[in-house]
Amino acid sequence: MWSQIQNYFFDFILLIYGLIGDLGITIIVLTLLIRFILLPITHSSMKDAQKIKELQPEVEKLKIKHKGDSQALQAAQVELYKKYNVNPFAGCLPQIVQLVVLIFLYQTLVEFLAQSEVHGVQINPNFLWLNLGKPDPLYIIPFFAFLTQMFLSLMIVPGGEVRDVVPNNSKKKKLKEENKKEENMAEMAATMQKQMLFIMPVMTGVIALQFPSGLGVYWVVTTLFSIGQQYYLSGWGGVVSYSQRARQFIAGKLSNTQ
């Protein structure tokens, strides 16, 4: 069963390769075709993920309101998601699909590129400075894999704004305590987001260092596609906030040296 599916996929790659005559361009075209085929699934899931991100302030309010009562909190969250017609697990689907496709493509490309001839067709693995069956000797593809994944992560992660549940000028002790709790929760969430912000791009870059560069080309192209898709859904997202902080940090450093 698996070998039969793989043979069909080989034939599909060879069809594109026969029309184009360049294996690198073939991988790029193949990647774009796969993304366009999966577009209805990933687009719907990314829209739900965006809605969940927008509802996060409301979720934080519910956590404070129902602190210590997990059943009431769960019921309130379900009601909130139902009200806005959101599936809280939908955001995981694009990553799962991406992982399955990546594993399949990796196994297929490794076997495909290991052969100088596939189904009677001579294969030239060279593309620009790359041998697509081997890791990039100049580390350019791993760098771009890291860079594009970092940019996508910045787009997806919120800017870390803190939203008050109650006014700061409240004189009531209880309300001040709730405000303090909310700030602590926001700080904890921001710390976790920053950790995840760097973990995924670094992992992507490290993996691309070891895998065949053909797979790295696939990853860069599919991430660029995701960046375009994410921009269509929510604009630049957290990129704007983080770029502003970076400019302020650099400006501060420069003013200190003067």
Q: What is the pLDDT of residues 145-169, one digit of tens each?
A: 999 998 888 877 654 443 444 444 5
Please check whether residue 242 is in contact with residue 250, taking contact to mean a CB–CB distance below 8 angstroms. Answer: no
Instruction: Please count the CA atoms within 13 angstroms of the CA of 258 that sit on its side-chain side.
Output: 6
CA dist 94 → 18, 32, 59, 91 (Å):
31, 15, 23, 7
**pLDDT (average), residues 84-100:** 67
Q: How confident is the model at residue 69 (pLDDT cuts 50, 70, 90)?
A: confident
The one-letter code for the residue type at 203 is: M
Structure tokens at 152: 């996508």
Rounded to an integer, what distance in angstroms lies between the CA atom of residue 244 and that of residue 39? 32
Q: Which helix (H) or strand (E) holds 66?
A: none
Instruction: Report the Cα–Cα distance between both ends of the chain, in Å, rounded.
Output: 69
pLDDT above 70 covers a percentage of the chain that reads 74
Is the pLDDT score of 29 beyond 90?
yes
Is the pLDDT score of 258 beyond 80?
no
Q: How confident is the model at residue 224 (pLDDT cuts 50, 70, 90)?
A: very high
Is the pLDDT score of 247 beyond 80?
no
Q: Which helix (H) or strand (E) holds 121?
A: strand 121-122
Closest CA to 65 of 161, 174, 171: 174
Rounded to an integer, what distance in angstroms lies between the CA atom of residue 159 and that of residue 236? 11
CA dist 66 → 23, 73, 77, 190, 225 (Å):
57, 5, 10, 22, 40
